[in-house]
């Protein structure tokens, strides 16, 4: 699976970049500047939907093939490897970038006046999730048998679920589903990616499902970068892309063929 370990994450990035372009054109030319309503039957909207559907189908087929033909080594450290450069160092850097973006988001929010309680919760959970990603990688490298890894593996999933609830509350009165649908898909895919990753810690690996949501998270987070978010939120989405690209590549490298 070494070729797939390079090709599939790269394919997800290329598809995501194309989706980013379509989404950017959609936001610029399809949505009415006054009403916020999208133009019906717009080419870029149809193209982005078709691209998303095609990518989902390809990723699903690949994940099914992996689930049928491949098996994961026992233990998270064996399934993903703990090479000091590509695991604890890389993930710690990503975690620091995520944490830095969260801190700057807090500074920006405070400068704009009083912060709503939900924003405080979001920033606090985002910071905790970023720290957990870094410490999880370090703990896995030092000693994967420590009990702390179980809790650390679940924290990012909890944060993503909170983010999804927060997004829903913010758009409860928004009837234009297209304006936030891709962000919803990005958060859902990221949450499930983290969830199935923790399955390897709890000795319940599901490599096919895990890879499916890694690829979907890469694609939809890339598409979401085109939305009208602040720079710090975009950096958090970029960190999620990096996490899923590295995780998918590392998992693919360590899969083995199922015994006949």
Measured CA to CA, the distance from residue 53 to residue 101 in angstroms comes to: 31
pLDDT band at 31 (very low <50, low <70, confident <90, very high): confident
CA nearest to 130, candidates 92, 162, 167, 165: 92
pLDDT digits (tens, 9 = 90+) for 121-169: 999 999 999 999 999 988 887 776 777 888 899 999 999 999 999 999 9
pLDDT for the residue numbered 41: 82
Residues in contact with 206: Cβ distance below 8 Å, sequence separation at least 6, in sequence order: 67, 196, 199
Instruction: Decide if 31 contacts 233 (C-beta within 8 A).
Output: no
Other residues' Cβ atoms within 10 Å of the Cβ of residue 92? 17
Q: Are residues 165 and 206 in contact, defined by beta-carbon separation less than 8 angstroms?
A: no
Q: How confident is the model over 183-215, as pLDDT tens digits?
A: 999 999 999 999 999 999 988 999 999 999 999
3-class DSSP assignment, residue 112: coil
Q: What pLDDT, on the 0 to 100 scale, is given for residue 260? A: 64
Model pLDDT for residues 54-104, shown as the tens digit of each residue: 999 999 999 999 999 988 888 888 888 877 677 788 999 999 999 999 999
Count Cα neighbours of 111 within 13 Å in the Cβ-side half-sphere.
6
Average pLDDT taken over every residue of the chain: 91
Q: Give this prediction's pTM.
A: 0.94
Q: How far is CA 144 from the centre of its chain?
A: 23
Say how far apart CA 188 and CA 220 lie, in whole Å: 10
Residues 6+ positions from 208 with CB-CB distance below 8 Å: 63, 64, 65, 66, 67, 68, 70
pLDDT at res. 207 = 94
Is the C-alpha dihedral spanning 232, 15, 189, 148 positive or negative?
A: negative
Q: Where are the chain's structural domains?
A: 2-257
Mean of the pLDDT values across residues 108-120? 84
């Amino acid at each position: 699976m070494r070729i797939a370990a390079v090709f599939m994450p790269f394919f997800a990035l290329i598809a995501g970049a194309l989706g980013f372009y379509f989404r950017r054109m959609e936001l610029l030319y399809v949505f009415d500047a006054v009403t916020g309503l999208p133009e019906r039957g717009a080419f870029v909207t149809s193209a982005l939907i078709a691209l998303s559907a095609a990518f989902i189908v390809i990723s699903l087929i690949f994940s099914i093939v992996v689930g049928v033909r491949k098996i994961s080594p026992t233990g998270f450290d064996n399934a993903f490897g703990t090479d000091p450069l590509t695991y604890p160092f890389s993930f710690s850097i990503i975690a620091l970038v995520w944490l830095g973006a969260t801190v700057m988001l807090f500074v920006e929010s405070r400068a704009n006046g009083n912060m709503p309680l939900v924003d405080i919760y979001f920033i606090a959970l985002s910071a905790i999730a970023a720290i957990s990603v870094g410490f999880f990688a370090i703990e896995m490298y030092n000693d994967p048998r420590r009990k702390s890894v179980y809790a650390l593996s679940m924290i990012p999933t909890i944060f993503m679920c909170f983010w999804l609830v927060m997004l829903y509350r913010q758009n409860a009165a928004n009837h234009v589903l297209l304006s936030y649908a891709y962000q919803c898909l990005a958060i859902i895919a990221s949450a499930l990616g983290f969830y199935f990753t923790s399955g390897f810690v709890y000795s319940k690996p599901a490599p096919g499902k895990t890879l499916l949501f890694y690829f979907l998270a890469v694609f939809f987070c890339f598409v979401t970068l085109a939305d009208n978010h602040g720079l710090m939120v975009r950096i958090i989405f970029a960190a999620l892309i990096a996490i899923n690209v590295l995780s998918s590549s590392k998992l693919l490298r360590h899969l083995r063929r199922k015994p006949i």
